[in-house]
Structures are given as C-alpha cells and as structure tokens.
Amino acid sequence: MSLLSKLFGGKTDEVADMLKKEAVKAVKEAAALKREADAQRKAEAPARAARPLEQGLSWGEVMPDEPNQYNFKGTHTEYFEDIFRAEFPGMALNREIVNGGRSIVYTLGQKELVVELMTEKSAANKRRRDCRQQGVPYLRFYYDHEGWWNTRKYVVDRLHAAMGR
C-alpha cells in the first residue's frame, strides 16, 4: 500500500481529482486577475496628447478628450457598469463571467438587452446567435482592441439604438 493510500484511506483518485479541479480553478482565477490588472495598468498609463475629435468617435490612434474606458478611474468592467446604471437606473443588471473569465455578459432588465464584453481574441458567436433566435437585442464591446476607445457617447448611442430608444 502506498503512502498516499495510507494517508487518504484508499481514496487517492478522489483526492487527485479534487486537487486537479482546484488547480484548474486557481489558474483561471489568476488569469482573470492578470487581465484585470493589465487593463487597470493600461488605464493608469499616461495618456498621449489627445487631439480634438468629433464627439462619439471611438476609433483612432490618439485617445479622445471625452470620457472613455481608458481615462475612466476604474477597470473596464466598472466603466461599463457605470454607464449601464446611469442610462438605465431602474433596470436590473445581471453579470455573468464566462469563457474562463475572458468575457463578461450583462443582462439588462428581464433580458431586454444582452451586452457582452470580450477580448478581441475571442471568436465566440453562440450567445449572439441565441439572442438573435430569441429576438433579444445583443451588443458586444471589445475591451482590449488597440485604438478602440469605447467612448461614453459611442457606448450610450449603441445601447439606446439596440433597445430602440
């Protein structure tokens, strides 16, 4: 009888499975924390000099003066949640972390709108297809696409357009 069998009473397979599950979980959590820290570090990095752009323009080499996810004093998730709460104050906001922490799905109200925040490296389309089949408005925003600022006006305009407001 091996030492592990003596220690765990012959349940070494169960213990090994439990340890494996916990290790996988810890790796996923560490990866999610690293992504949040990277986004925070990017948000705190000194901004390049902004040039005047048309308000709501969300793409360009230089960060616009208007509020966007990179000059917001918080993470990209806090930025979007702040917009959701300000624009739809009486509406329930549900948050679900998916794809091993690479994406966050927000459901506004009783599934009146589904918003997915995802990395540009993701090619997931199942949620978009499911929403289309159910007749639920769906939006996605990439939180790490270089040069894409997700300006507040751009995000708000897309949210309202998706909800028909």
More confident position, 71 or 31: 71
User: Which residue blocks in the chain are alpha helix, DSSP H?
Assistant: 3-8, 12-44, 76-87, 126-134, 152-162
Is 0.85 surpassed by the pTM of this model?
no
Beta strands in the chain (DSSP E): 93-98, 103-108, 113-118, 138-142
Confidence (pLDDT) at 5? 65
Reply yes or no on whether the pLDDT at 80 is more than 90.
Answer: yes
For tokens 């199942």, name the residue.
126
Q: How confident is the model at residue 50 (pLDDT cuts 50, 70, 90)?
A: very low
The arithmetic mean of pLDDT across residues 112-121, rounded, is 93
Token couple for 11: 């349940």
For tokens 């993470």, name the residue.
75
| Amino acid (1-letter code) at residue 120 | E
β-strands 113-118, 93-98 pairing:
unpaired
Backbone angles phi, psi at 121, to 5 degrees: -80, -10
Confidence (pLDDT) at 115? 96
**Direct distance between the N- and C-terminal alpha carbons of the chain, in angstroms, rounded to an integer:** 70
Confidence (pLDDT) at 64? 84
Exposed e or buried b for every residue in 131-160, given b needs 16+ CB within 10 A? Answer: beeeeebbbbbbbbeeebbbbbbbbeebbe
| Amino acid (1-letter code) at residue 8 | F
